[in-house]
Structure 1
Amino acid sequence: MPHDLKRVTRALLSVSDKAGLVDFARALHERGVELLSTGGTRAALAAAGLPVRDVSDVTGFPEMMDGRVKTLHPKVHGGLLAIRENPEHQAAMLAHGIAPIDLLVVNLYPFEATVAAGHGEDECIENIDIGGPAMIRAAAKNHADVAVVVDVADYGAVLADLEAHGGAVTRTLRRRLAHKAYARTAAYDAAISNWFGGRLGDDTPVIRALGGTLAEPMRYGENPHQAAGFYRTAESRPGVATARQVQGKQLSYNNINDTDAAFECVAEFDPARTAAVVIVKHANPCGVAEGESLIDAYERALRCDPVSAFGGIVAVNRTLDGDAARRIVEIFTEVIIAPDATEEAIGLVGAKKNLRLLLTGGLPDPRQGGLALRTVAGGFLAQNRDNAVVDDMDLRVVTKRPPDARELADLRFAFRVAKHVKSNAIVYARDGATVGIGAGQMSRVDSSRIAAWKAAEAAKAAGLGDSLAVGSVVASDAFFPFADGLLAAAEAGATAVIQPGGSMRDDEVIRAADEAGLAMVFTGHRHFRH
């Protein structure tokens, strides 16, 4: 047999996910492979009528300590780690009665699923696998002689190799399986480490472990020359990573990034209180509105910037209905994301074969913590998700004139949106809808002017005489360092301002607001988003 081929004569199977197990084991048995197993896996194989030997018979020790100790034994690890062509290893195997194990099939205790289901600490700890990772790492280290399978999806590849090579597996497959095996144990340990960190309240652990599972390879990244993949983590949070794609072509890297931005923004609006729609382009909201219905909210969000909405992402906070879907599909839209959709809405979207429809089953909680990452050369930055919500903030009136009830409602609305606009962010809003958004400028006054210009352009597109900013309120994601940005908002027609405060020139800015007749409130919370 060629050197790169290794015959499989003996396999150890110990899996928590038993999908496809019996069929796979039966195919191995039919090839003359001896089956070893443990616990529930052995019982499942025996119940299917397959001859299977219990690992306890091999080791001479019973499972003990509620199954915590069963495979941690030289007759198991020696069978996995022994280098077949090493005379000393062969002698040790002969002297101690250790038989080789050529194929290891293990998927680990469902720790991630146990945590996601909200089980208590004791149950989570009992679902930390010890013997499984130890065996996986041993087999993967010795991939020159042993094949290791940690993913049900690889059963077919192993059987195909065995069929093609007379009961042997190739070195190429063994190396690929070993690569996946180490990635799996790394991700598993990362999930455990991060769970412990959360329990301890440790936001900056000395070693930060990360892990993810490939959801799908991307055609390319932000640009065609960049390779990319979409990975899911163990975080249980409704959104683009957990959504069901009902229809439409494959999502691109930019689609996923923009859709996440849109859905996180629309989640700021409680669906029990109001319908809300967010339209995003290049990760920035270009229109956001509340309404009595989704179609009402969509029309008002679209009015803010109908030009940028072309080719954008639409997120809604309620079940997508036929009226809203019919209107949304009138212009070119890349993605619609919603908690759910009616059959009528699904049918209407389905008429646009390239339009992606994602259904998430719920909204993410804007107050929920989580990890946000950004890479830098030689490392990465990790921080908690921005889970500050304006409804929880103590708004402090700092001007002579307090905002009236309508202004106060719009100020809260505008600050919700500003949280999701790239810094420097300025948002004009009126009657629960954005009317002008300035994003991502190096100067806050430039963002103010751009937002005012957008409001004037939106008015022209709607056939109105005055800018939509007239009578609006304005939100700033960070303090005004000078009065110029605030005065630009006043010139555009804003009557009230919401901002974090905290500038060395707050007194100067407050005086300017008073002189302009503006009402202004401080939140004490900044929402930078770079």
Structure 2
Amino acid sequence: MSIKRALVSVSDKRGIVDFCRELSALGVEIISTGGTSTLLAKEGVPVIGISDVTGFPEIMDGRVKTLHPAVHSGLLAVRDNEEHTRQMKELGLDYIDLVVVNLYPFAETIAKPDVTYEEAIENIDIGGPTMLRSAAKNHAFVSVVVDADDYAKVLEEVRAGGDTTLETRKRLAAKVFRHTAAYDALISDYLSKVTGEPLPERYTVTYEKIQDLRYGENPHQKAAFYRTPLAAQDTLTGAEQLHGKELSYNNINDANAALQIVKEFDEPAVVAVKHMNPCGVGVGESILQAYQKAYNADPVSIFGGIVAANRYIDSDTANLLKDIFLEIILAPGFTDEALEILTKKKNIRLLKIGGLGEAAARKSSFVVTTVEGGMVVQESDVHSVNEDDLKVVTDRKPTEEELKQLLFGWKVVKHVKSNAIVLAADDMTIGVGAGQMNRVGAAKIAIEQAGDKAKGAILASDAFFPMGDTLEIAAKAGITAVIQPGGSVRDEESIKVANEHGIAMVFTGVRHFKH
């Protein structure tokens, strides 16, 4: 067998002229449609119009052109089936040996901020996926290419033996079905959102691989990094790595945790993360001041951690950052002087995140977590509170400074693994208790870390106090104000303890469990 006829119809015309010119030189007859046919003819590549094959004009603005027996018989006929062969000859039909198709740019269309519903629907490809699926199903005899990166491999094999190998055809067919599945998933997701069904009876998601990772959670585990087709600019999937070795699975998770926290702040802020928990968070009048606070919050735990900033890293900040071992620094950018300083460290990764630091309302997305045999899906937690949302429940109201620190602490505790307690003062964390089996344990860890700094500080809790014991140890440490969701059947016990110790306490009415 050899490739004699190819059907070519592409939206992404990258490399298609040279590919078809090579095929034609190898004696392959090129059939094409619409804009692809026009381009090939213009470039001097011999081409046969699809209407010459079907005997039927392209109609309805090109909606119907390849949906024809003359096309799909040539793709689906089993070449070693005598009855199929007989029917092909009887009907005067010819085989199609190679299909080169990529689809209408649906993702690019719906990514446009001003896209209309009608425009989106018009960019749903019908004929393309049908040809791809027909050819991929019959890959025992038909080669199918959906990715321009495969042109070179196909040409190499056709030059060598007149056809692709069965192994290559299987690989190309698998890629086709991944491609069409992703395409359909994107369309179904768009229509589900348009019709107000974000959690439908079937939940299909699609991701594009960005890169293979050095390893997974541990060195013996393989891992890769994927993104959604329409990922926002200010996400880790859109990061540009400016320096350093490849990322690992743990790097990705820690960097994402740092990024989500730093996006809570409009003022200059720096977040240090270790094992997906913040070990230091600081805000200031400059990014240098913010970093100094984040570092001083826990100068031990920051070693080997991830640092995220929501402003450009300047040379003064870079000179401090270079003095300790860090895995990653991510920021909206780095000054030339800062890059010169930091790139002298061979292994540190520098990530530039577009859109970070720009004031904008955070949009909710959906978080997918796998469990054995399935997955759970939930909206991302982008809830925020302001001063007007707080309910003072104690006799003493928080001072203006306490109120400022309470709101700061609330932004941080939301991102700490539950049970979570955060102590804060002077626009920085001074103690973090994360991931404990009870709230008292989390509070003790945070208070021990803060030491004498706990006196006059605030305490933030991600969930309500089921009893007054946490407030008792907070009062003993010198905590003066507390922010928590409220809502326990024993709220009055906590309020009583707070009043006895002169602690100001506010309820948010919202909890932030993080598992």
Contact persistence 1:116–1:234 (CA under 8 A) = no
Closer, same or farther: CA 46–89 of 1 in aligned 2, 3 Å: same
Distance 2:473 2:12 in 1: 61
Structural mapping, 1:460-475, within 5 Å: 467-475=452-460
CA drift of 1:256 comes to 0.7
Counterpart of 1:161, as a letter, is: E
- Cα deviation digits, residues 19-73 of structure 1 (max 9, x gap): 1111211221121111111111112212211111111221122222222111111
- Counting matched residue pairs gives 511
Corresponding residue of 2:90: 95
Contact persistence 1:497–1:520 (CA under 8 A) = yes
Distance 2:365 2:141 in 1: 42
Corresponding residue of 2:502: 517
Corresponding residue of 2:241: 245
Corresponding residue of 1:331: 324
- Cα deviation digits, residues 447-489 of structure 1 (max 9, x gap): 1011111112xxxxxxxxxx22221111111111121122222
Corresponding residue of 2:423: 428
Determine whether 1:73 maps to 2:72. Answer: no
Further displaced range: 295-304 or 209-218: 209-218
Contact persistence 2:214–2:247 (CA under 8 A) = no
- Cα deviation digits, residues 151-200 of structure 1 (max 9, x gap): 1221222122223x322101111111111111111111111111112112
Contact persistence 1:373–1:383 (CA under 8 A) = yes
Contact persistence 1:366–1:387 (CA under 8 A) = no
Counterpart of 1:147, as a letter, is: S
TM-score w.r.t. the length of structure 2 is 0.96
Determine whether 1:304 maps to 2:297. Answer: yes
Corresponding residue of 1:498: 483
In structure 1, runs of 5+ residues without a counterpart are: 1-5, 457-466
Determine whether 1:134 maps to 2:134. Answer: no
Distance 1:243 1:392 in 2: 33
Distance 1:20 1:326 in 2: 46
CA drift of 1:366 comes to 6.0
Distance 1:268 1:392 in 2: 15
Query: In structure 1, which of residues 271, 283, 295 is the aligned counterpart of residue 276 of structure 2?
Result: 283
Contact persistence 1:366–1:389 (CA under 8 A) = no
SS of 2:238's partner is coil
Distance 1:113 1:510 in 2: 54
Contact persistence 1:264–1:366 (CA under 8 A) = no
In structure 2, runs of 5+ residues without a counterpart are: none
Distance 1:371 1:430 in 2: 33
RMSD over aligned Cα, in angstroms?
1.5
Structural mapping, 1:178-189, within 5 Å: 178-189=173-184
Identity of aligned residues (%): 55
Determine whether 1:529 maps to 2:495. Answer: no
Query: In structure 2, which of residues 246, 251, 260 is the aligned counterpart of residue 255 of structure 1?
Result: 251
Structural mapping, 1:4-403, within 5 Å: 6-118=1-113, 119-163=115-159, 165-237=160-232, 238-270=234-266, 274-363=267-356, 367-391=362-386, 394-403=389-398
Distance 2:480 2:26 in 1: 80
CA drift of 1:341 comes to 2.2
- Cα deviation digits, residues 403-452 of structure 1 (max 9, x gap): 11111111111111111111111111112111111111111111101111
Distance 1:29 1:45 in 2: 11
Distance 2:16 2:479 in 1: 66
TM-score w.r.t. the length of structure 1 is 0.94
Closer, same or farther: CA 292–370 of 1 in aligned 2, 3 Å: same
Corresponding residue of 1:460: none
CA drift of 1:88 comes to 1.3
SS of 1:503's partner is coil
Contact persistence 2:231–2:237 (CA under 8 A) = no
Distance 1:97 1:510 in 2: 88
Closer, same or farther: CA 471–73 of 1 in aligned 2, 3 Å: same
Further displaced range: 179-188 or 387-396: 387-396
Closer, same or farther: CA 30–471 of 1 in aligned 2, 3 Å: same
Closer, same or farther: CA 172–201 of 1 in aligned 2, 3 Å: same
